[in-house]
Amino acid sequence: MRTLIIENDTYLAQSISNKLEDRGYECTVSKDSNFKPDKNNSFDIVLLSYDFCEKNCINIIKRFSESIVIIMIKYINDDTVTKMFKAGMHDYITKPLIIDELIRKIEHYKHFDRLQKEVVFYKNYFEFVEGILNTPFPFTYNLPFIIRSNSQRSADIYAMRYARLKNIHFNFLSLKDVDWRSILNLNNSVNDIIYLTGLEQIKKSERMELISKLHKQNILFSFISQEEIPFSNIADISTAQNCMDIGGEVMPIREYEKMVITKYEGLYSDIELAKELGISRKSLWEKRKRYGIIKQRKSAKQNKN
């Protein structure tokens, strides 16, 4: 990171510069108490000696409003601290200073600055996707409840809007990655809220057992299916405009059929899957043969369960 050190004590300025450069910082030392950067010269960090730049401190702080500004002062009072904070400085350190303590402050604000930029980045991305999908405003349901949608992304955006509305944070779990039985053993506290995705990934009987045993937990479910699911609180956004997340490339109908059969054959019996697809069991068998889909046999462990 580019660092500007404005200090008239040559020994101190050089000592700070050497320590920072050893850590990979690029340092510029100046004895100009009214330092003005040119248009192509920006700094991530500005270390400013108050006693050297007393008359120009506020102007310099405002001049570097986009930088992390730390003031080096000999004593603490309203002028050296309160007014400087109001002007926009981030922190201060007293002289004679311990350089390692100064570096700790710099590293802290560097990390904080990075986190702020990440928050802005993800917030902008969230709002961008939210706008594209035109996700409905969340119902003010109390947990638990189920989000029914045609796409996982739409369900996720809806869940995040609900979290922002309620000022809560989720722990994320997916039934694609964990065995549904392990969820039954969760003993989450009042403050632990789970966003559980993939209800459509498990069988109907398993799904109903899971929901019935978690009906008093702080859990938000997503369900990417039009299958009936008996539950009191269901936020159905599957009919909302633009909430079906389809990729940019249009596939032939047979590719959609192949994709759906492959994805759901382990969750439904042949009769159930054929019914969901609106075709006969014989037609399902013929499509498997045509597309080269080999039905996976259940393992002994699965049969036992």
Same domain, 165 and 268: no
Supply the pTM of this predicted model.
0.60
Strand 2-6 and strand 45-49: the pairing is parallel
Supply the pLDDT for residue 118. Answer: 93
Supply the pLDDT for residue 4. Answer: 94
The DSSP element (H or E) to which 148 belongs, if any, is: strand 145-148
Same domain, 15 and 110: yes
Same domain, 156 and 87: no
Question: Does some domain include residue 71?
Answer: yes
Q: For residue 97, what is the domain's CATH number?
A: 3.40.50.2300
Supply the pLDDT for residue 305. Answer: 46
Q: Which residues in the chain land under pLDDT 70?
A: 40, 186-191, 240-251, 266-267, 296-305
Same domain, 106 and 6: yes
Question: Does some domain include residue 124?
Answer: no
C-alpha to C-alpha distances, 173 to 118, 125, 153, 182, 183, nearest whole angstrom: 23, 22, 15, 11, 9
Same domain, 108 and 183: no
**283, two tokens:** 């037609």
Q: Which of 122, 70, 66, 112 is nearest to 91 (CA)?
A: 70
Q: What is the residue range of 107's domain?
A: 2-114
Is the separation of the CB atoms in 194 and 188 below 8 Å? yes
Same domain, 15 and 97: yes
Return the ∠ at Cα 264 (arms to 258 and 268), rounded to 5°. Answer: 130
Q: Tell me the C-alpha distance between 60 and 34, whole Å.
A: 7
Per-residue pLDDT of 222-243, as tens digits, reads 998 888 888 888 888 887 655 5
- Which residues 6+ apart lie within 8 Å of 175 measured at CB? 183, 196, 197, 198, 199, 201, 202
**91, two tokens:** 């922190």
Question: Does some domain include residue 280?
Answer: yes
Same domain, 10 and 71: yes
Question: Does some domain include residue 84?
Answer: yes
State phi, psi for 166 to the nearest 5 degrees.
-90, -5
Question: Does some domain include residue 248?
Answer: no
What is the residue whose two structure tokens read 């040559």? 10
Same domain, 13 and 105: yes
Same domain, 86 and 187: no
Q: Tell me the C-alpha distance between 37 and 40, whole Å.
A: 8
Strand 68-73 and strand 91-94: the pairing is parallel
Neighbours of 159 (CB within 10 A): 22
Per-residue pLDDT of 191-213, as tens digits, reads 688 999 999 888 888 988 888 88
Question: Does some domain include residue 247?
Answer: no
The DSSP element (H or E) to which 271 belongs, if any, is: helix 270-277
Q: For residue 184, what is the domain's CATH number?
A: 3.40.50.300
Question: Does some domain include residue 32?
Answer: yes
Q: Tell me the C-alpha distance between 190 and 94, whole Å.
A: 44
Is the separation of the CB atoms in 268 and 276 below 8 Å? yes
Give how many domains the chain has, as a whole number. 3
Question: Does some domain include residue 241?
Answer: no
Q: Which of 179, 178, 184 is nearest to 212 (CA)?
A: 184
Q: Tell me the C-alpha distance between 122 and 102, whole Å.
A: 30
Same domain, 37 and 70: yes
